[in-house]
Structure 1
Amino acid sequence: MVLLRKLSAELQEVAEGELGENFLRLEEDLEYIREWINKQPHLKARTDDQFLLAFLRGCKFSLQRTQEKLDYYYTAKTIVAELFSNRDPYDPDIQEVLRLGPVLPLPNTAGPEGPRIILLQSSVLNPDKVQYIVFLKVFLMILDILLQEDDNFTVAGVAFWSEGKNSSIRFIMQLTPALLKKIHVIMQKAYPIRLKGVYSTHCPPIAETLFNLSKSFSPEKLTKRMFLYSEIGEEFCKQIPKHLHPKDFGGANGSLEELKSKTNALFFLRFYYLL
């Protein structure tokens, strides 16, 4: 018996129309992937229905692509160990990042079938207290929880909004080209996400250089979804409407303090997904 969360009618329509999800074939697809995992001695992978379904959806139910993505997802934990080791949520470094809230999924989407928006704020991080690699580690930990918990994220996709006003240059400089390339490879090859957009506002010059470098690591399909804005103005609001911004930015999508509390609560309730 398949144990899965029921989608809303709107998300079910997206799953069937855009991803090719077929309820009559779902149990067979899940069992096929589970049997494949059990035959891979190098893979110590989870095999629960909801987790595997996130990968099937992210790969539009291509069994071959799902296998490739799962393989790389677990391989990455070894070859990029600095981003996946020591995921203890009570680690002081991780606690400091969570306290500051640089990675905040916004609760409201553009309609019930809209993609999840995740606000990234490097400006809240002090380079004397936080290493960029720990920020990235927490970012990936939160994505892992959303893979399991957030149907908008797994079905409709995700839009990343990076707000850089008053960001520390010293902190941004910790993101070396080599580390930037690693995170790009992980996001493209390991995580089963539907990237709907990457939007950067108030981007300092050095971050703009890294933004442009990141486009060189991305396929053309993705570069067309990457945008840079000097301010949170009219053009940006055509991509992420004002009412979907946090209250602190003049919107109606929760205050930053509320968002931090909600994200941290989800993190500690679901951290066993990360172990």
Structure 2
Amino acid sequence: MLALRPLSFDLLEVAKSELNEDPRQLTSQIDVIKSWLNECTTLSGPMQDQVLLSFLRGCKFSLVKVKEKLSLFFWTRTILQQVVQNRDPLDEHVLQIIRLGVGIPLPKTINPKDPKIFVIRVAQFDTEKCSFADVIKVGTMINDILMRDDDQVVVCGMSLIIDLAKVKAAHLLQLDMEFLRHVAILYQDASPFRMQGIHILNPPPGMQTVLSIFKSLLSDKNQDKRILAHGSSLASLHQHFPQEILPAEYDGLLGPIQECLDFWEAKLINNRDYLLDMSKLRDSRADATTESIALKPPGCSKENELFGIEGSFRKLELD
């Protein structure tokens, strides 16, 4: 008998109507995926039943798409060793990155069927103390827990509020395009979470080039999603995200964002064993070396042309 968490009535309604979910077939569908993983000699590492169900839901129960997405999931996590290794939440350096709160899921939505909201505060990390890869690492730790524990984000998807306030050139100098390309694959093609909207807040002067590059990193499907720029207008943001579901830093009524940070610090520490287990996922076809990082991922629709952009952001100037 599989250990699967039942959905709430509201989420089950969405799962049936939008994701093609049939509760009577969940066991047999997961068994098919588990058998396939067992037969794959190149893929190794523990995957819980609830996580496999997240991939089924993220692929609208297409077994072919689940296999493609899981292959990418294992592949990118093997290639991006700087992101998925040394992710112990009790490690002092990792704990410092967690406490920065660069990417934080918000606890509430207006409707239980609404997408989960994430606030991404790009300028929160100190470039002299940590790297962009460190920030992505903590993001994958949070996502690993969400894909196992949070039915709302799995069933209803996610909306991002990307806050670019106080972004400096130093933040962008760390963004190597080859690394970004693989991170984009990890968060889109290899993720069970469906993107429902991207909201850009506080872009500084000179950021248009960066926003164009960011859009180029999105998959074709996500480029078709709503991408809205609000400038510095919280009033514009509130038209999409009412104040009762936003933290105080965005004129919201949730209280300070530090409360969300405290919650996630404790949750990551409490799930230490699970996070360390998830770092064991491997694809033997993807040897994590400088030479192999340019290999095309299996099943990926975007080739390794770096989306027509070369190098990094070193020539970019910000006011």
- TM-score between both structures, scaled by the size of structure 1: 0.94
Conserved? CA contact 1:132–1:172, under 8 Å: no
Report the CA distance shift for 1:23/1:104 in structure 2 as closer, same or farther (over 3 A).
Answer: same
Distance in 2 (alpha carbons) for counterparts of 1:208 and 1:102: 21
Shift of 1:106: 0.4
Shift of 1:73: 0.6
2:232 aligns to what?
Answer: 231
1:222 aligns to what?
Answer: 222
1:39 aligns to what?
Answer: 39
More divergent stretch after superposition (203-212 vs 239-248): 203-212
More divergent stretch after superposition (137-146 vs 239-248): 239-248
1:252 aligns to what?
Answer: 253
Conserved? CA contact 2:247–2:253, under 8 Å: yes
Conserved? CA contact 2:234–2:251, under 8 Å: no
2:159 aligns to what?
Answer: 159
Give the alignment's Cα RMSD to 1 decimal.
Answer: 1.7
1:261 aligns to what?
Answer: 262
1:52 aligns to what?
Answer: 52
1:241 aligns to what?
Answer: 242
| Segments ≥4 residues shifted beyond 6 Å | none
1:102 aligns to what?
Answer: 102
Distance in 2 (alpha carbons) for counterparts of 1:219 and 1:120: 19
Conserved? CA contact 1:127–1:168, under 8 Å: no
Report the CA distance shift for 1:74/1:221 in structure 2 as closer, same or farther (over 3 A).
Answer: closer
Larger % of helix: which? 1
Distance in 1 (alpha carbons) for counterparts of 2:12 and 2:188: 25
After superposition, the C-alpha distances for 1:58-100 in whole angstroms (9 at most, x for unaligned) are 1110001111111111111222222222212223321111122
Q: Which has the larger radius of gyration?
A: 2
Counterpart secondary structure, 2:188: helix
Q: What is the aligned length?
A: 275
After superposition, the C-alpha distances for 1:124-158 in whole angstroms (9 at most, x for unaligned) are 22111121110111111111111111111111111
Distance in 2 (alpha carbons) for counterparts of 1:273 and 1:106: 22
1:82 aligns to what?
Answer: 82
Q: Please tell me the residue identity of whatever aligns with 1:256.
A: I
Conserved? CA contact 1:77–1:85, under 8 Å: no
Conserved? CA contact 2:76–2:182, under 8 Å: no
Unaligned runs of 5+ residues in structure 2 are 277-319
Unaligned runs of 5+ residues in structure 1 are none
Counterpart secondary structure, 1:159: strand
> Is the counterpart of residue 191 in structure 1 residue 191 in structure 2?
yes
Report the CA distance shift for 1:82/1:206 in structure 2 as closer, same or farther (over 3 A).
Answer: farther
Report the CA distance shift for 1:191/1:207 in structure 2 as closer, same or farther (over 3 A).
Answer: farther
Distance in 2 (alpha carbons) for counterparts of 1:97 and 1:206: 27
Conserved? CA contact 2:69–2:190, under 8 Å: yes
Conserved? CA contact 1:247–1:256, under 8 Å: yes
Q: Please tell me the residue identity of whatever aligns with 1:232.
A: S
More divergent stretch after superposition (11-20 vs 237-246): 237-246
Counterpart secondary structure, 2:43: coil
Distance in 1 (alpha carbons) for counterparts of 2:47 and 2:144: 15
- TM-score between both structures, scaled by the size of structure 2: 0.81
Higher relative contact order (CA 8 A, sep 6+): 2
Shift of 1:34: 0.6
Conserved? CA contact 1:103–1:139, under 8 Å: yes
Q: Please tell me the residue identity of whatever aligns with 2:180.
A: L
